[in-house]
Structure 1
Amino acid sequence: MTDRRDSALPDSDEGRDETVEERADRRWIEVLQELRVLQTGTQILTGFLLALAFQPVFADLGAGQRGMYLVLVSLAALSAVIALAPVALHRIVFRRRVKPEVVYFGHVALIAALAAVSLLLAGVVAFVFDVIIGDGAAWVAGIALGAVILVLWVIVPTAIRRWGRNTQ
């Protein structure tokens, strides 16, 4: 029996010989692997941001740069909270036989975390360019990285997903 949560996930399981429980277990392992990759990069970026406030040159930042810094720290915290939400949910509902729901929540949370991380990455690059070169370079660098993220994280995967459907 397939419900909305099962069919809403991006990968097709046709041709796999697995039970609903086996599918949920496999998908949960995949969510955890993706979380590990996302969390490592986010932790490094968050550490960089947090350390910056305690550097002597931080006092030289303008009001706009300080505001941008606070937005970036907030985005870093938000992305970590979103990415860890599936783990917290799993701990709370452990042994409640709701693994497909946990997997679906993990899927949605990781997409939201990727969106937050994409903003964070573009923002950090723009921030660094602003501090080192100036406003104009910051906008160019932030928009350029945002475009690369859009192409590699959204457009290419969407095209591959569509192409894969057409070849089956």
Structure 2
Amino acid sequence: MNSEETELDLGKAADAVVGVTADDDGDLTDMLGELRVLLPSAQLLSAFLITVPFNSGFANIVASEKTVFLATFTLSILSLVLLSAPAVQHRVIRPLTDRAGFKRLATRQIVVGAVLLAMALTLATQLVLSTVFGHGVGIVFATLTGGLLLLLWWVLPKVLRAKGHM
């Protein structure tokens, strides 16, 4: 198998994971609506995290919490980059000659951005609640947050699609 065949196979696998089909018409309206929900979440979390190190109490947090902060901040910024990338790419590429192909690429970026955002939200929950209520409470609520995000963002849509409800 050559590298071109491998790339095509990986592309097909990614399309299956994110739910893009060969008959996708390339309409970008639904994608725009989805980004209107995800982008502000990533922006708000990133903005909050940018201010944290400048807070006087940041110097007092333990090294493990600083590591969690670093991971949270990195995931949040990466999610923001991936979620905003389709808009910039759309503007730079215009006019689109392959709307369905662009939508497949953008969908992959949005899904990866959403995964990173879910991870950042989970870690942010752990960071805040561990600081306020203690490490145990932070871990419990971060686990619940991550589980809820996994259930609502990934498992439920896959189950509904498999049952033919969506």
**What TM-score range do you get, normalising by the shorter chain?**
0.7 to 0.9
- What residue in structure 1 maps to residue 91 of structure 2? 91
Gaps of 5+ in 2: 1-11
Aligned length: 153
- What residue in structure 2 maps to residue 31 of structure 1? 31
Asked if the contact 2:79/2:117 (under 8 Å) is kept, the reply is: yes
CA distances 1:32-73 after superposition (whole Å, capped 9, x unpaired):
221121001111111111111111111211111112111111
**Under a length normalisation based on structure 2, what TM-score does the superposition of the two structures give?**
0.82
Asked if the contact 2:129/2:138 (under 8 Å) is kept, the reply is: yes
The structure-2 alpha-carbon separation of the partners of 1:96 and 1:156, relative to structure 1 and needing over 3 Å to count, comes to closer
Distance in 2 (alpha carbons) for counterparts of 1:40 and 1:49: 14
| Structure with the greater alpha carbon radius of gyration | 1
* Secondary structure at the counterpart of residue 131 of structure 1: helix
- The yes-or-no answer on 1:62 pairing with 2:71 is no
Distance in 2 (alpha carbons) for counterparts of 1:99 and 1:12: 13
Matches within 5 A, 1:143-154: 143-154=143-154
Matched to 1:136, the amino acid is: G
Matched to 1:108, the amino acid is: R
CA distances 1:68-122 after superposition (whole Å, capped 9, x unpaired):
1111111111001111121222123212512211111111111111100110111
The structural deviation recorded for 1:149 is 1.1
Percent of aligned pairs with the same residue? 24
Measured on the aligned residues, the alpha-carbon RMSD in Å equals 2.5
Distance in 2 (alpha carbons) for counterparts of 1:142 and 1:96: 41
